[in-house]
Amino acid sequence: MMRIMGSGLLGVAAGAAAAAGFMGYAVRGRSSSVFGESFYHGDRSRPALALTFDDGPSETTPILLDALDKYHVPATFFMCGENVRRCPDIAREVAARGHEIGNHTDSHPRLHFKSPRFIYGELAKAQETIQQATGAKPRWFRAPYGVRWFGVGQAQELLGLSGVMWTVIGRDWRLPAERVSDLLLKRAANGAIICLHDGRGVRAAPDIGATIEAVEYTIPRLQDRGFQFLTLTQILCPHN
């Protein structure tokens, strides 16, 4: 009897561990589409990369824009509504310089354990703010911290958004520029979507010096290796 009970408890524990593992993948797995359509790489047969920036715009974004202009690199900027309302002129400058704009929620919350109504409100408010400030209607959404939850897929569908994760994340919010550059140069591959940050959540005047320095160092070296930089739409929907 004790043996049977022990086996039963082991089975329950194994089932719980499997369920927890699945939920962890569903919420944060870069290839997961459990909570809505999501992409994390483009065509792996093409030597092309998509450079993306989260958490902007910030007061320092124009310096980053100058660096991108220097190397003729288009990028995709996932903006937070709060930051757009704080820096509307900079948001417009991003669009005016030919970069693509994506939705990164309004206030940069972690979405797990939030209600579908809350999630929709975050995406909808950011979508409206971005469109009013820049004239651009985002077609791509990236969840803060890469955390998705019940309701994300429905919100994306209602707002005409597709989810995007990343192939490579630079961890530029905490690593020095040299380590960010090393990481990007080692992991860049055909069709990769690179995630960096031109803000730090919704903080005003964040220090993004490491990001700018890494971009200045990394872009020409990747170009020398034959990579072309594209926007997300260009790398994920080449025939649009």
Structural contact between residues 50 and 192, judged by C-beta atoms closer than 8 angstroms: yes
- In the residue annotation, 197 being an active-site residue is answered as yes
Strands 228-230 and 76-79: unpaired
Indicate the length of the chain as a whole number: 240
Catalytic residue among 41, 104, 108, 197: 197
- In the residue annotation, 54 being an active-site residue is answered as yes
Residue 65: exposed, middle, or buried by beta-carbon count in 10 A (0-12, 13-18, 19+)?
A: buried
Q: What are phi and psi of 54, to 5 degrees?
A: -105, 165
**Run of H or E including 185:** helix 177-187
Catalytic residue among 54, 55, 106, 198: 54
Nearest in space to 61 (alpha carbons), one of 46, 78, 49 = 78
3-state SS class at 35: coil
Contacts with 178 (C-beta within 8 Å, 6 or more apart), sequence order: 214
Catalytic residues: 54, 197
